Chains A and B, each alone.
Chain A
């Protein structure tokens, strides 16, 4: 297995254009967290032409609702949630500069189309490996919607956060191609 690619956020167009499905990537820098409820609010702000709680340009959103942090830790378990629930909102965020998304599970055609068109990438993190992934999170700070509890928007500082490229900007889809490679027809 080839070595992982180390990237620093925010990501440039060149950064993501070089990625191909199946690449293992270690992300460093800042990630923003958002799930369904936060996405709904972000999209409402964009539609009203109002500013977002953070600048989307080149950023990566992680679909996660961490468990509460124990004393002395920045965050509890923090693995990805299923991404299709964000599909209705993601294309608009991508059009406004979002460069990457981290979650688990396949994306809709509309999201994949927006990724190709505006050069964004979708990373798969390992669902259910929340204890492992928390080790790569150095700090977590709620920056918007604290009333949403686990669904609040957080700014995470990460070091070598492990992900796999699931959809690249060239139209590759690991969820389809990986399954095709291993399926056995009767």
Chain B
């Protein structure tokens, strides 16, 4: 049995919230550079250059790359031999979010669904806890912006539509989203499970680093094929026309009910933010 103190969780979540919002991952920057090689639209190329410049300013001046610093989505991957010491795990995560969004001058974007009254400290966080054998304790914080989340969808397809039907749904979703989710986007696709599990798979698919292959080569081939179809749409950077609408398609899949074919598309804007730490 290993102990992890809540104070360390608070401190770590605080730092992850600030770093995730100010330091864009090198994988995303490399994807921008690669996109710049392929983009033919002058406007699109200008936008990609400015996104690289924006990331450099954010990192150097420690200000958020985007004013929408998102809903704090936190994944806790922990071993069943870990004991949380000194308080509640969930409350520690919430407190870390509270401190990070306060100390990092991050925007508080969470409100009551009807009155729209802001909660004032960007809580609650969305917390996904996964317990596996072992004594590891890993935290991932992925701030999720509203513009791209608004363009995401879950659907329950008829199994008979097969791979083509899923592809059509994914490509159509990107097409209908047009400029709204801040392209170039990353398209997270969850296939299988249940209604809610498909959505979670789609979100988790976004955590895979850009440029890393899908561990399943068959899914990897689908990702390449669907990305090509998406980049034929012509939407381009910011939706103003161009070759690069999406930087990647990432798929996670699991078995589903014999009656069902759940599919979720979680669209991620180019500010593809997530940072992780192990305690």
Q: Say yes or no: A182-B179 contact (C-beta < 8 A), given A22-B43, A150-B108.
A: no
Q: Which of A125-176 contact B (CB under 8 A)?
A: 126-132, 134-135, 149-150, 162, 164, 166, 174-175
Q: Is A182 in contact with B107, judged by CB distance below 8 angstroms? A: no
CB <8 Å contact, A77 and B240: no
When the two chains form their complex, are residues A37 and B116 in contact, meaning their CB atoms are under 8 A apart?
A: yes
Q: How many residues of B contact A (CB 8 A)?
A: 51
Stretch of B60-68, B85-93, B132-140, B215-223 with 4 or more beta carbons under 8 angstroms from chain A: B60-68
> What CA separation (Å) do A180 and B234 show in the bound complex?
7
Contacting pair A149 B66 (CB below 8 A)? no
Number of interface residues of A (CB under 8 A): 49
Given contacts A128-B54, A129-B50, contact A178 B105 (CB under 8 A): no
Q: Is A76 an interface residue (CB 8 A)?
A: yes
Asked if B116 contacts A127 (CB within 8 A), the reply is no
Complex interface: chain A residues within 8 A of B238 (CB): 104, 124, 126-127
Asked, given contacts A126-B47, A126-B51, whether A186 binds B67 with beta carbons under 8 Å apart, the answer is no
B232 to chain A, nearest CB (A): 4
Picked from A1, A106, A131, A166, the residue with its CB within 8 Å of the CB of B46 is: A1
Contact call A76/B47, Cβ cutoff below 8 A: no
The answer to whether the Cβ of A18 comes within 8 Å of any Cβ in the partner chain is no
A132:B178 contact, CB within 8 angstroms:
no
- A186–B227 CA distance with the chains assembled, in angstroms: 14
Asked if residues B65 and A105 are in contact (CB atoms below 8 Å), the reply is no
CA distance A70 to B57 in the complex (A): 14
CB of B182 to closest CB in A, whole Å: 4
List which B142-178 residues lie within 8 A (CB) of chain A.
Answer: 145, 147, 150, 178
A135 and B54 alpha carbons, distance in the complex (Å): 10
From 93 to 142 in chain A, residues with beta carbon under 8 angstroms from any chain B beta carbon are: 104-106, 124, 126-132, 134-135
- Inter-chain contact A132/B53, CB cutoff 8 Å: yes
Tell me which of B54, B235, B236 has the highest count of chain A C-beta atoms within 10 A of its own C-beta.
B54
